[in-house]
Structures are given as C-alpha cells and as structure tokens.
Structure 1
Amino acid sequence: MLLIVGYEDEMDYVFGKIEGELTKDVASSYFSKVAKVAEEYNCYKVITDLRDAQLIATRRELEIMAKELKGVGLDSNFKRALLISENIKDYKVWENFNFHHGFKDIRLFSNEEVALEWIKQ
C-alpha cells in the first residue's frame, strides 16, 4: 500500500495518491494528512489519484467516511477531484454520500488533464 500527500506550489493544489487496498482506515489516514497539508499551505483544492487503488469498503463504510470528513479536518469548502479508473459505481456512491453531507465540490475524473482544468477554476 502506498499513500502520498503533498503540495504542488506552481499550480496551487494539494495532491495525493493511494495505491493498493483502499479501506476505511487508509482513507481516514489519507484525509487527515490532506487536511494538515491544506491547512499548512492554506490551499483547499485537492487532486487524489486513485487509479491504482482498489476500493475495499461497504456502502455503510462509505457513508460513515463521508460523515467523518469534518472530524478529520476537511470542510465543505474543499474542492476535490478524484482520478479513478475502475469501480466507477462504488466511487459514484462515495460522491453521492459526500453531496448528501454538504461536500458539493467533489468530482470524479478518468482524465488527469480534465481534472487539472477543473481544479484550477
């Protein structure tokens, strides 16, 4: 499992990458790190690369994770782009739970260039 979080200063966004099994615990750890980097750089635009991750979470766990985002430091003002390659249905469920819990600025992308254009807006 690989989990990377950093800041891209030239384009002003937080980036992250997860490879391997993406469980509720891995996601919680990732979100905590994203929140810290975002606060450090006062940047609330995030691109997460999940193209090499395998989502291992039940529907209930996805809903719990969406509820817990504010508790780990993510606020509804974050703009988040998720780069995905598979499990579109499961990630769509995750996206919908985010919308339901007030996180409206989240989008799924399969193309990195399109995600970067959206995050810059």
Structure 2
Amino acid sequence: MTPSPTLGIRAVHSPLDRWLAAGAFYTFARNHNTLGATPQEAYVWPAAAAAARSALGLRLALLPYLYTAHHTAHTRGGSVARPVWSLQPDDPQAHDAQLQTMDFFCTGTRHNVLRQPAVSLNP
C-alpha cells in the first residue's frame, strides 16, 4: 500500500475542506506540506476544520469495516475499493462516473458504500 497525500497543492479553504473529506477514506489519511508553503492544516479555516471533523468522525465509525475489508482482501484476494466502471464495464454511463468508487467494507453487498468526492472548485 502506498499512501497518497490528501492535499499537496497551494491550499485555500474551499478545495482543502473537500480534499480532507475525500482523503478520510484513503487507507492512509494524511496531509502534508513543505516548509515555507501556504498553511493547509484544517484548523486554519473553520470550514475546513468542520469538514475534517465530520469526515474523520465518519472514518472512525467505519474503521472496523475498513479493517475487515483489508483483511478479507489480504486473505481471500480482491480489493477494498474499485471504480464503478470496473463493476459494469459494458455500461457507457459507468465510464462517465470517473470519481465514483465502490468501497467494499464487508463481504455482503448490503455493507458496500458508493462514494463520489466533491473535489472540484465548481461542482
């Protein structure tokens, strides 16, 4: 597993709160910055702090399922998350949903989560 940074661009509060919410579902949910760059910690902007609290609260609630999904993927094969188009490769509309991801938190279909992060500035 390779961690992906939650945000590695010049931060302004609007994309930061969206990327923090999206990044909460990453296996390694982390943020990083370089010395001398614009601060991008969630506490810098109230909207980003609220988004981080909400998203990380949901992450903590789902953590047992995420752990189980990783264990199942490790022991039985498979994946924890897949793009929607990979589940319906013959559906042209599925290919248009490039940001949608189906997360497999349990082995049964009733425990799956479909998510689509709102990361663009103009949704």
Shorter-normalised TM range: 0.3 to 0.5
The structure that is strand-richer by fraction is 1
Rg: which structure is higher?
A: 2
Task: Calculate the TM-score normalised by the size of structure 2.
Answer: 0.32
Higher RCO by CA contacts (8 Å cutoff, separation 6 or greater): 1
